[in-house]
């Protein structure tokens, strides 16, 4: 079954720079396993033991953090080809601090932390490339989480929206932005209520700062957007 998804696996940042035939051999060394999940099914529960991380092959999943009061904050949306759990597998904290839920029917390739760092009996040269890619992914994810803390530290809803959209603009260098998050997911990500966020977005549209339809946003006044981020 792994060969069926080889295009997705090969294009994952985890296997960057590793040739297709080497990826197939490497996956056998890593004893990778594929599991299927239905829509809204729990892939990993908060509190479970950490010993593996996942690569989404089909569908998408959300990473959710819940407070003691039951409030839910979406930490990230993992789409096809994306990883989850890689930040936790070598932590001294041996329990998953988040819950991973399938947004739609999905398939996930699981790799274990023990196999990742075990010395390959075949002395595969590409195993080193895999570990280098893994370290880069963790570093990039750390920067992303730092950015999320910045959003959460902003008090005003408009400031959160403007900072998020400005970051997306700076990443794409395009005033038309297609967000990977749905509207309710964006509200959870920024830790605001969806109605309040929608009202603020409509005000910004009326003021000529942005325009939007569903998940597509167009920045009309980049200077005004940036001013609210200061």
Q: Region 156-167: what's the mean pLDDT?
A: 94
**Is a pLDDT exceeding 90 seen at residue 101?**
yes
Q: Would you identify the CATH topology of the domain 154-227?
A: Arc Repressor Mutant, subunit A (1.10.10)
Sign of the Cα pseudo-torsion (198, 201, 205, 206, in order): positive
**Is a pLDDT exceeding 80 seen at residue 196?**
yes
If one compares 199 and 188, the residue with the highest pLDDT of the two is 199
**Is a pLDDT exceeding 80 seen at residue 63?**
yes
Query: How many C-beta neighbours within 10 Å does residue 168 have?
Result: 16
Q: Would you identify the CATH topology of the domain 2-141?
A: Jelly Rolls (2.60.120)
**Phi, psi for residue 71 in degrees, rounded to 5:** -75, 140
Supply 144's token pair: 């992303």
- State the pLDDT confidence band at 87, using cuts at 50, 70 and 90: confident
Q: Does the predicted TM-score (pTM) go above 0.75?
A: no
**Is a pLDDT exceeding 70 seen at residue 95?**
yes
**Is a pLDDT exceeding 80 seen at residue 64?**
yes
Q: What is the pLDDT of residue 122?
A: 59
Cα 146 to Cα 66, 139, 140, 143: the distances in Å are 19, 11, 10, 5
Mean pLDDT of the chain: 87
Q: What is the pLDDT of residue 123?
A: 58
Q: What is the pLDDT of residue 230?
A: 62
Q: What is the pLDDT of residue 128?
A: 80
**Is a pLDDT exceeding 70 seen at residue 186?**
yes
CA distance 161 to 169: 12
Q: Round to the nearest angstrom and report the end-to-end CA distance of the chain.
A: 51
Measured at the CA of 45, the angle between CA 39 and CA 50, to 5 degrees, comes to 125
- State the pLDDT confidence band at 119, using cuts at 50, 70 and 90: low
**Is a pLDDT exceeding 90 seen at residue 116?**
no
Domain ranges of the chain: 2-141, 154-227
Strands in 42-44's sheet, in edge-to-edge order, are: 42-44, 99-102, 61-66, 72-78
Q: What is the pLDDT of residue 121?
A: 60
């Amino acid at each position: 079954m792994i060969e069926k998804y080889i295009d997705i696996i090969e294009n994952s940042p985890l296997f960057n720079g590793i040739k297709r035939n080497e990826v197939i051999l490497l996956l056998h060394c890593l004893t990778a396993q594929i599991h299927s999940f239905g829509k809204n099914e729990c892939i990993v529960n908060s509190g479970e033991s950490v010993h593996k991380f996942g690569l989404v092959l089909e569908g998408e999943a959300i990473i959710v953090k819940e407070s003691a009061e039951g409030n839910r904050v979406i930490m990230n949306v993992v789409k096809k080809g994306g990883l989850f759990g890689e930040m936790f597998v070598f932590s001294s904290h041996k329990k998953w601090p988040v819950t991973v839920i399938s947004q739609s029917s999905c398939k996930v390739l699981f790799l274990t932390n023990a196999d990742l760092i075990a010395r390959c009996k075949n002395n595969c040269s590409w195993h080193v490339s895999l570990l280098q890619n893994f370290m880069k992914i963790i570093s990039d994810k750390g920067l992303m989480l730092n950015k999320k803390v910045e959003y959460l530290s902003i008090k005003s809803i408009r400031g959160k929206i403007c900072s998020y959209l400005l970051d997306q603009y700076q990443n794409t260098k395009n005033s038309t932005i297609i967000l990977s998050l749905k509207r309710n997911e964006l509200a959870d990500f920024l830790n605001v209520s969806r109605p309040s966020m929608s009202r603020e977005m409509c005000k910004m549209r009326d003021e000529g700062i942005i325009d939007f339809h569903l998940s597509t946003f167009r920045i009309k006044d980049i200077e005004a957007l940036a001013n609210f981020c200061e």
